[in-house]
Structure 1
Amino acid sequence: MRKPIPGIAFSTIFVLLFYSVTSAQDSLSRPELKWDLATCLNYAARNNIQVRTLEQSRLSSEQNLLLSKAARYPNLNGTMSQTIVNSKSTDPVVGGFQTQANFSSNYSLNSSVTLYNGGYLKNDIKQKDLQVQMSDLDIQTALNDVTIQITQAYLNILLARENIVYLEDLLTTSQAQLTQGKQRYDAGSISRKDYIQFEGLVATDQFNLVTARNAYRQNIITLKQLLQLNSSVNFDVVVPDTLYMNPVITPLPDAAARALSIRPEVMADSLNIMAAELELEKSKAGRRPLISLSGALSTGYSDNRDEAYFPQLNNNFFQRAGLSMSIPIFQNRINKTNIELSKIQIEQAKLTLLGTKTTLDQAVEQAYIALLNARNQYSVAELQLRVSQQTLDITNEQLKLGAVNMVDLLTQKNLYVQALQNYIQARYSAILNHKVYDFYTGVPVSL
């Protein structure tokens, strides 16, 4: 028997130790987070890019509202000018031309305020206030979408984790059977072929376990992407003690009616109709008179006069106040076109609301059907798993007694693994569909 080369053995051990230490240091240097579902949802509400973008849009709507309110108040403008004029003029005493520079100053304050404009300002303020409310509802709609996505990703992680636990138990059982098979093979009670099948059973369970762990890691990445966490963050989820599934299903008519009354997308489209109606009133204001009040204060100084600076400013002090009214008589069909376009906008807003309600009603019905199907699948999968488990246990006992061969065991093992995966999938599918259906009716998502 050849002895291992010491140099190669030492270098191999050194590489393995270096890799282990480096991996451990890298793991320790990465921030570690372990969140439950509520923490994930709260974090997404504060940091999701789509939500934050909509929040910025809301701030813009608030500024537009403040601008509309400020239009009701008088404005005030101040102007000041200093002028030097240099020119040549004829000298009547000695003849010829002389250069002369003149200095002058002008100061003024001007203000105006709209007294009446056919209700335009009042309706514009109401419209801008509705737009702020619609911005809030858009944010809530985005949060609802993010909540469903995160909940689904979170449950997928729990599903993969539970699958790993079951597959680890299966691998432990297979390894124990391999150990017993080795003893029986050494004793000559089973053939080489049967012993190799034991090894193949362990290899299959190891492969399934590796696949499940890869799925778990991929689901973690999916949730991190939804949360927009950096790849350097070492992230994991908190496993709840129990997963509660509400045994009561809200009747479909009640759920649909509740969703139509509380969902933000429906409320936003309803406000949009009101905003369009206010736009029509603003268009009609273009046919009405515009009454405004204006005033001005001004004074000036010129060195052409012998009067001193301040007395001259006092003597030149000028005040003006005026009331003006503008009456539209012929506007090249501008007002009529604006009115007709506003009416079209109202009809479009009504159609949008109708479409939103129809889509939401269909979504609730689809969620209801999906929930019923998921619960039925869960009941069948639970029964199938129980039967497969009992059959596999009996087959294992028969194998010990030599009553069945390895082909029978492998067949029952495959049936059990399939039943197990169907059960886990059906269980989490039922939980997720119940959460989604209840969420349409305003029930917060929780585990």
Structure 2
Amino acid sequence: MKKSNLFFLILFTCWATIGQAQAKKWTIAECVNYALEHNISIRNTALDGELAAIDKKDARGNFIPSINANASHSWNIGLNQNITTGLLENQTTQFTSMGVGANVDIYKGLQNQNRYRRSALAEVAAQYQLSKMKDDVSLNVANAFLQILFNKENIKVQKELLAANERQFNRTQQLVDAGSVPRGDLLDIKATVADSKQKLVAAENALLISRLSLAQLLQLDDFQNFDIADENYDAKQSEVMFQTPESIYKKALENRVEVKLAQTNLDIANRDIKIARGAYQPTLQGFYSFNSRISYADVPYVINGQVIGTRSPDPFFTQFDDNKGHNFGLQLNVPILNGFAARNNVSRSKVNAERAKIALEQSQVDLERTVYTAFTDANGAFNSYESANTALEARKNAFEYAQARYDVGMMNAFDYNQAQTLYANAQSEVLRTKYDYIFRTKIVEFYFGIPIIQQ
């Protein structure tokens, strides 16, 4: 193969690859799944869950004895006390000491047990918070996705309207040249064409902004090449809409994480009360320590109570064994008066528990209001969609009648443009109410327990 042919083959392959990469169309499922993995708010909330897991490990560690080792080496120069003989001596010596100690809580007013249970509840609360954040992001992504679909279809409507106006302009130009219609009709049609171009530009800008909004939710940098698949959604009435608002609310009350999160926070607050009350009770702690020391100074040589000289120090391990010591026991602390700190902590915890109880009640009220509002809005959106379809059919017939009259010279350009504008507005209204109903239905399904995307 010639080098030139090979070069063009490689170049064509690269272009084809780039074209395929740019032609990727994101489905709503891909958008939601990608957002759940890359959204900043979700990633930040997930870190709260990791911190809660670490706090749980800390609480579990309170049951384990604390063990610490220590060692020191010192130089003493001048008149110092020999820590081995207890005598004051003017000398330079070195000493090594080492030890290990352990402490264990035997009884601490059940505070360790309650702290561990509290940390487990906090970990569950963090998981609920993460689930709520994922649900919010999923709804936002679905709304942004449907907004792009609406803008795309609206552009099609505006393009069709512009093409029709341009065709009408060309025909009117011919009629003006033939002297069949006044020149004023041509000016009106020309203004209508300009207005259609302006609406098309506005629709294209709206599409660009909606794509940018979704790309930001997905944390994508190259939003200019970002596009979604042209999925077809039917605006048929969902089976969930045949349920009563009461049944939807009861289902949401069982499944929604908002209520579960509030209930968990109340459980945490009640556990805090038990932890605070544990300070009223005595605490019992066991302790143990081991230590030894080694001296590197010469040792006095004593016979019959007389120091007659010195000798080299004993070997390291001999001194370590001879100078070792053990210390162990129990320590009991009984709280008597501590400035009402324990009592105030209990009272403070009770206030926080009452706040959590009110928050639980408020979450239930908010959920009920949200479900009823969503159900009412979905029904209203469906009625609006049906009305818009009825209006579209009437506007279509009116426009066809106006066009027939305009073609035979029985209607002026201004009235014709008015009929055409009303028809185009009716088409846009059908699209708007359609996607508004689809999204509001998804909200109702979401509270009924149906996920945003069907896997």
Where on the TM-score scale, by shorter chain, does this alignment land: which range? 0.7 to 0.9
Counterpart Cα distance in 2 of 1:366 and 1:281: 40
1:311 to 283, 306, 318: 318
- 1:140 aligned partner: 131
2:147 to 156, 159, 172: 156
Aligned partner letter, 1:205:
S
Q: Does 1:167 align with 2:174?
A: no
Shift of 1:88: 4.3
Q: Does 1:380 align with 2:387?
A: yes
Aligned partner letter, 2:439:
L
Aligned partner letter, 1:315:
D
Counterpart Cα distance in 2 of 1:117 and 1:110: 20
Deviations 1:45-86 (A, max 9, x none): 112221111111111111111011011011111111112111
- 1:10 aligned partner: none
Q: Does 1:252 align with 2:259?
A: no
Counterpart Cα distance in 2 of 1:234 and 1:291: 68
Shift of 1:408: 2.5
Instruction: Call closer, same or farther: CA 1:348–1:407 in 2, change over 3 Å.
Output: same
Shift of 1:98: 9.2
Counterpart Cα distance in 2 of 1:229 and 1:349: 38
Deviations 1:237-265 (A, max 9, x none): 11103345443303100111122221112
- 2:99 aligned partner: 108
- 1:265 aligned partner: 258
Aligned residues between the structures: 414
TM-score w.r.t. length of structure 1: 0.87
Counterpart Cα distance in 2 of 1:162 and 1:337: 64
Q: Does 1:74 align with 2:81?
A: no
Counterpart Cα distance in 2 of 1:241 and 1:175: 29
Shift of 1:309: 2.2
Instruction: Call closer, same or farther: CA 1:233–1:77 in 2, change over 3 Å.
Output: farther
Q: Does 1:421 align with 2:428?
A: yes
Counterpart Cα distance in 2 of 1:67 and 1:128: 9
Secondary structure, aligned partner of 1:311: helix
- Contact kept? 2:161, 2:196, Cα under 8 Å: yes
Aligned partner letter, 2:383:
N
Shift of 1:32: 7.0
Counterpart Cα distance in 2 of 1:293 and 1:111: 8
Instruction: Call closer, same or farther: CA 1:388–1:344 in 2, change over 3 Å.
Output: same
1:301 to 285, 294, 301: 294
Aligned partner letter, 2:166:
Q
Counterpart Cα distance in 2 of 1:446 and 1:103: 75
- 1:222 aligned partner: 213
Counterpart Cα distance in 2 of 1:88 and 1:217: 87
Deviations 1:86-123 (A, max 9, x none): 1149xxxxxxx995112211110111111111211111
Counterpart Cα distance in 1 of 2:236 and 2:121: 39
Counterpart Cα distance in 2 of 1:370 and 1:359: 16
Instruction: Call closer, same or farther: CA 1:88–1:330 in 2, change over 3 Å.
Output: closer
- 1:16 aligned partner: none
- 2:413 aligned partner: 406
Counterpart Cα distance in 1 of 2:46 and 2:452: 23
Counterpart Cα distance in 2 of 1:315 and 1:233: 81
Q: Does 1:292 align with 2:285?
A: yes
Secondary structure, aligned partner of 2:227: strand
Shift of 1:311: 1.2
- 2:328 aligned partner: 321
C-alpha RMSD of matched pairs (Å) = 2.3
- 1:432 aligned partner: 439
Aligned partner letter, 2:423:
Y
2:170 to 154, 158, 179: 179
Aligned partner letter, 2:391:
Q
Deviating more after overlay: 127-136 vs 168-177: 168-177
Counterpart Cα distance in 1 of 2:430 and 2:424: 10
Deviating more after overlay: 423-432 vs 143-152: 143-152
**Contiguous gaps of at least 5 residues in structure 2:** 1-14, 81-87, 300-312
Q: What percentage of residue pairs aligned between the two structures are identical?
A: 24
Counterpart Cα distance in 1 of 2:138 and 2:383: 26
Aligned partner letter, 2:29:
A
- Contact kept? 2:75, 2:95, Cα under 8 Å: yes
Deviations 1:248-295 (A, max 9, x none): 303100111122221112111101111111111111111112122211
**Contiguous gaps of at least 5 residues in structure 1:** 1-23, 90-96
- Contact kept? 1:40, 1:150, Cα under 8 Å: yes
Secondary structure, aligned partner of 1:34: coil
Counterpart Cα distance in 1 of 2:371 and 2:181: 59
Deviations 1:201-226 (A, max 9, x none): 32222222112111111211222222
**1:340-419 equivalences in 2 (<5 Å):** 340-419=347-426
Aligned partner letter, 1:310:
F
Aligned partner letter, 1:364:
V
Secondary structure, aligned partner of 2:292: strand
Counterpart Cα distance in 2 of 1:316 and 1:233: 79
Q: Does 1:336 align with 2:336?
A: no
Counterpart Cα distance in 1 of 2:36 and 2:298: 71
Secondary structure, aligned partner of 2:226: strand
Counterpart Cα distance in 1 of 2:63 and 2:89: 55
Secondary structure, aligned partner of 1:329: coil
- Contact kept? 1:284, 1:335, Cα under 8 Å: yes
Counterpart Cα distance in 1 of 2:282 and 2:182: 106
2:230 to 239, 246, 255: 239
